[in-house]
Amino acid sequence: MTTAGQPVLSVANVGVTLSDRIILKDISFSVMPGEFVGIIGPNGAGKSTLLKGLRNMGVISDGDIRVFGQPIGNMGDKQLARMIAYMQQEVNIGFGFTALEMVLAGRYPYLKWWQNEQSEDFAIARKYMAFTGVESLAEKSVQQVSGGERQRILLAKVLAQDTPLIFLDEPTASLDLVYQEEIFRYCQVMCQQGKTVLIVVHDIKLAAKFCSRLILLANGTVVADGAPQDVITAQNLERAYGLHSAVFINKVTGNLDIHTYEAAGTLGRQRSVHIIGGGGAAGKIMRLLHEKSFALSGGVFQQGDTDADVAAAFGVKAIVGPPFCVISQEHGNENQEKIHAADITVLCNLYFGQQNMANLKAAFAARKLIVIEDTPVEERDFTGGEAAQLYRNLISLPQVTVLSSNQFAQQLFEGII
Ligand SMILES: Nc1ncnc2c1ncn2[C@@H]1O[C@H](COP(=O)(O)OP(=O)(O)OP(=O)(O)O)[C@@H](O)[C@H]1O
C-alpha cells in the first residue's frame, strides 16, 4: 500500500439519521498522518456518533469514508481493526482479567482464531504498558485499579492494536487534572511518531493546548475546522455553544484561554463609556463593563500592557501608544475626542508619571466622570506632586464621582451606573 502524501482518513458528505432524526449532515474533512485532531462541541452535537460512523459501526446513512484511499465499507472486520483502534466512551472491563490480558486483547486483529498470543504480542503489550506507565500493574485485576490507571490500561490496549489511526471518545472523562494532561501528552507523542489521533473532548482549553487541529461540531454540522487559534474564537463559541466569551492568550501559561460570561441583554447598550487606563489598571473595569454590554472605548494604553490585551480580548476599541514613551499629541487628542463623545468616562486607579500625565489631563474633558480610587493618589504619584495636585482639582469637580473598584462593581451590579 502506497500512502505517502495521502490522507489517512477521508470523509466526504457523511450523514447519519437515527430514529428518523438527522444527527449528522454533510460532514466532510480529511486528516493527514501525524495530526492530533480534537473533536469538540456541545452535548448532543454528534461527536460520538461521528466516531462510531467513522469506525463503520453501522450508523452512517450517507457519504463516503476512506482510510488511505480505501472505502471502509469494503474492508473486513479484522482489516479495519488493523487500521483503526477505537476507545469508546463506555467500556465494560471484563471481570477477572488482569491488566496485561486486557492489553493483549488489543492484539486480536493479528491472531488467527486458533492462535494464542505469541511472544511478539506479549512484547508489544508490555511495550505500550510501559509507555502509558502501567507496566507494574500487569498482573493486577482490572477491577482493582483506579480510574486513571484503568484509562491508561485501555489506552495501552488501543495502542497494542498497532493501527495508524486511533479514535478516543472522551478518554479523560472523570480523570483528575494530572491524568487528563497525561493522556493528551501520550497522544501528542504518538502523533509525533506518526500515528493519527482523533479525540472527542469537552475541555476546550485542554484540546487547544495539545491538539494540532480542532473540529468544532454543533447541531450535526462542522462549525469550524482548523488550527486551535482559528477554531476557538468568541464567534465560533457563540455559534456552537450560545456562549459569550473572550478568547485570549494567557500570558502566564502562554496557552489559549477562555473567559465565559452570561449575556447582560441590553442593560448598557445605549450608553458609551470611555476608560482611561494603562499599566493594567483598566482590565477589571473593562471586563465588568463589557459583560454589561456597554459600548466601550479605551486609552491611552501602551503596547504590551495588559490593558491593551484585555481590550483586544473583548474587542474594545483602544488607543494604544508605544511603550515607555510620553503619550503623543496625536494619541492625546484622540483620547480627548473619545472622552467628549462618551456618555461616561472612567479614570482607573492609574499610577502617574510624566509619560501618562496626558491621561490625567484628558479626564477634565469628561461630561460625567467616575474616578476609581483603590490607592491614595499620593502613593501613585511619580511626578513629584504635580499629578496629585491635578487629581485633587479633578475630583473636586461636580461631574466627578469617586468610587473604589469594589463599589464600582457593586453599583454596576445594582444597575446604578
Ligand atoms: N441510537 C440512537 N438513536 C437515536 N438518537 C440517537 C442515538 N444515538 C445518539 N442519538 C442522538 O444523537 C445526538 C448526538 O449524540 P452523540 O452522542 O453523538 O452526541 P455527542 O456530541 O457525543 O454528545 P455528548 O457530548 O453529550 O457525549 C443526540 O441528540 C443523541 O440523543
pLDDT digits (tens, 9 = 90+) for 274-318: 999 999 999 999 999 998 889 999 999 999 899 999 999 898 999
Q: Note the pLDDT of residue 94.
A: 66
Local confidence band at 111 (pLDDT 50, 70, 90 cut-offs): confident
Measure 245 CA to ligand 1 centroid, in angstroms: 26
* Last-in-domain residue among 236, 258, 280: 258
Give the residue from 68, 154, 157, 73 showing the smallest Cα distance to 108: 157
User: What are the Cα distances from residue 75, in Å, to 9, 63, 198, 284, 382?
Assistant: 14, 16, 20, 58, 75
- Give residue 374's pLDDT band: very low, low, confident or very high (50, 70, 90): very high
Q: Mark whether 246 and 276 lie in a shared domain.
A: no
Residue 90: CB within 6 Å of ligand 1?
no
CA-nearest of 23, 87, 68 to 50 is 23
Question: What's the DSSP call for residue 364?
Answer: G
Tell whether ligand 1 has an atom less than 6 A from the beta carbon of residue 299. Answer: no
CB neighbours of residue 369 within 10 Å = 23
Question: Hey, which residues does 62 pair with through a beta bridge?
Answer: 15
Q: What is the pLDDT of residue 116?
A: 76
Q: What is the pLDDT of residue 417?
A: 81
User: Could you tell me if residue 299 is inside a domain?
Assistant: yes
Arithmetic mean of pLDDT, 27-49: 96
Q: Which are the contacts of 313, defined by CB distance < 8 A and separation ≥ 6?
A: 246, 247, 248, 259
Cα(327) to centroid(ligand 1), Å: 56
Claim to verify: residue 143 and residue 252 sit in the same structural domain: yes
Question: What is the phi/psi pair of residue 36, to 5°?
Answer: -115, 100
Q: How far apart are CA 176 and CA 84, in angstroms?
A: 27
Select from 134, 126, 89, 76 the least CA-distant residue to 106: 126
CATH number at residue 155: 3.40.50.300
Please write the tens of the pLDDT for every residue from 130-152.
Answer: 988 899 999 999 988 988 888 88
* Residue 267 located in a structural domain: no
At residue 58, the pLDDT reads 80
| DSSP conformation letters of 300-361 | EEETT-HHHHHHHHHT-EEEEE-TTSPPPHHHHHHHHHHHHH-SEEEE-S--B-GGGHHHHH
Locate all alpha helices (DSSP H) within 11-89, ordered by sequence.
47-54, 77-81
Q: How high is the pLDDT of residue 264?
A: 57
Distance of CA 107 to the CA centre of its chain: 35
Judge if the beta carbon of residue 20 lies within 6 A of ligand 1: no
User: What's the one-letter identity of residue 124?
Assistant: I
Atom of ligand 1 nearest to the CA of 169: 22
Number of separate helices (H) and strands (E) present in the chain: 16, 18
Pocket test for ligand 1, best of 14, 16, 20, 23 (most atoms within 8 A of CB): 23
| Higher pLDDT pick, 242 / 118 | 242
Residue located nearest, by CA, to atom 1 of ligand 1: 18
pLDDT at residue 312, rounded to an integer: 92
Residue 222 lies in a domain: yes
The finding on whether 44 has its CB within 6 A of some atom of ligand 1 is yes
**Domains identified in the chain, total number:** 2
Query: Which range of residues forms the domain containing residue 397?
Result: 272-413
Lowest mean pLDDT among 64-78, 177-191, 387-401: 177-191
Probe residue for ligand 1, chosen from 49, 198, 217 as the CB with the greatest number of ligand atoms within 8 Å: 49
Q: Is there a domain that residue 323 lies in?
A: yes
pLDDT > 90: what percent of the chain? Answer: 72
Query: What does the mean pLDDT of the chain come to?
Result: 91
Grid coordinates in use for 212?
494540532
Asked if residue 235 and residue 362 are part of one domain, the reply reads no
**Are both 140 and 20 inside the same structural domain?**
yes
Distance 50 CA to ligand 1 centre (A): 9
Q: Are residues 175 and 309 in the same domain?
A: no
**Worst-scoring range by mean pLDDT, 291-295, 369-373, 413-417?**
413-417
pLDDT in tens, 81-107: 999 999 988 767 667 889 999 999 999
Pocket test for ligand 1, best of 14, 19, 47, 57 (most atoms within 8 A of CB): 47
The CATH number of residue 298's host domain is: 3.40.50
Residue 270 exposed, middle or buried by CB count within 10 Å (0-12, 13-18, 19+): exposed
| pLDDT at 266 > cutoff 70 | no
Q: Looking at the structure, tell me whether residues 13 and 105 fall in a common domain.
A: yes
pLDDT of residue 416: 85
DSSP 3-state of 21: strand
Q: Taken in order 340, 346, 347, 350, is the CA torsion positive or negative?
A: negative
User: 90 and 29 share a domain?
Assistant: yes
**What confidence tier does 185 reach under pLDDT thresholds 50, 70, 90?**
very high
Contact (Cβ atoms closer than 8 angstroms) between residue 378 and residue 388: yes
Q: Which residue has the cell 489506552?
A: 155
Residue 339 placed within a domain: yes
| pTM attached to this predicted model | 0.82
Rounded Cα–Cα distance for residues 234 and 244 (Å)? 7
Rounded average pLDDT over 6-35 = 94
User: Quick check: CB of 51 below 6 Å from ligand 1?
Assistant: no
Q: In the structure, what pLDDT confidence band is assigned to residue 394 with cuts at 50, 70 and 90?
A: very high
